[in-house]
A and B are shown apart, each in its own frame.
Chain A
Amino acid sequence: QVQLQQWGAGLLKPSETLSLTCAVSGGSFNGYHWTWIRQPPGKGLEWIGEIHLSGGTNYNPSLKSRVTISVVTSKNQFSLNLTSVTAADTAVYYCARGRVATHWGQGTLVTVSS
């Protein structure tokens, strides 16, 4: 079955760049939107953005100036970069498949602290 495995640095200092990667296995990589979502500790879900191999990218307007989502098709992977992080970016970050997020990664806690 479809599995999403994600990884990346878990501790960052303010002003650094958050980088996470999500690898997809067990299913087709083509034909889907690939999405990043985050959840601050004890709070709700926030949609970050999505990428589609044929349709480009869409981002949350509140993060758009700092976010880049990219894809490496040959590896069935997609990535999230978030620049100039602050404590407000501390959250569990999830990767997911589809505009309807039917499959999710395990989540990565990213803490921003000096």
Chain B
Amino acid sequence: EIVLTQSPEFQSVTPKEKVTITCRASQSIGSNLHWYQQKPDQSPKVLIKYASQSISGVPSRFRGSGSGTDFTLTINSLEAEDAATYYCHQSSSLGTFGGGTKVEIK
């Protein structure tokens, strides 16, 4: 089973600040890594697919990068509405999710 390790688990950030979330896979998964945003009492929403591909309707401040075992989600110029928990997910071998990163607005 491929394990995804996300860091940090929690981040408190001021608006307009840049946020960086990392996801490390226990073995190489190519670019089969996706990022989701989940707000309280809502279903998750996909932000980035295949490591760096944008999703229609998702603000351009959300950017993904990486390949192999190391991946990054960057939120440029954080907005208040970005307060949420973020998850990475691999689809290279079955499916697994990272533990999540909660982003709080200061």
Q: Is the interface of A mostly helix, strand, loop or mixed?
A: loop
Contact with A along B10-51 (1 / 0, CB 8 A): 000000000000000000000000101010000111100110
Q: Is A25 an interface residue (CB 8 A)?
A: no
Interface residues on B, range: 20 to 34
Q: Are A47 and B44 in contact (CB under 8 A)?
A: no
List the A side residues contacting B45 at CB < 8 Å. Answer: 104
Given contacts A101-B89, A104-B43, A107-B43, contact A45 B97 (CB under 8 A): yes
Q: A44-B87, A44-B100, A45-B97 are in contact. Are A102 and B43 (CB under 8 A)?
A: no
For A44, what are the chain B residues with a Cβ–Cβ distance below 8 Å?
87, 97-100
B44: chain A residues within 8 A (beta carbon): 45, 94, 101, 104
Number of interface residues of A (CB under 8 A): 20
Complex: how many Å from CA A50 to CA B93? 12
Q: Measured between alpha carbons, how far is A58 from B55 in the docked complex, in Å?
A: 26
Select from chain B the residue with minimum beta-carbon distance to A100: B49
Whether A60 pairs with B46 at a CB distance below 8 angstroms is no
Chain B 72-97, CB-CB to A under 8 Å as 1, else 0, gives 00000000000000010101001111
Task: Give the docked Cα–Cα distance between A24 and B60 (Å).
Answer: 29
CA distance A63 to B87 in the complex (A): 21
A58 touches B49 (CB 8 A): no
Known: A100-B34, A100-B49, A101-B36. A46 touches B97 (CB 8 A): yes
Shortest distance from the beta carbon of A78 to any chain B beta carbon, whole Å: 16
List residues of chain B with CB within 8 A of the CB of A46: 97
* 13 pairs from A and B in contact (CB 8 Å cutoff): A44-B98, A45-B38, A45-B44, A45-B87, A46-B97, A50-B95, A58-B94, A60-B94, A94-B44, A99-B91, A99-B95, A100-B91, A107-B43
Report, nearest first, the 7 A-B pairs whose CB atoms are least far apart: A47-B95, A104-B43, A99-B91, A45-B97, A100-B49, A44-B100, A100-B34
Q: 8 new A-B pairs (CB below 8 Å) besides A44-B100, A45-B100, A50-B95? A: A44-B98, A46-B97, A47-B89, A58-B94, A61-B94, A99-B91, A101-B44, A104-B45
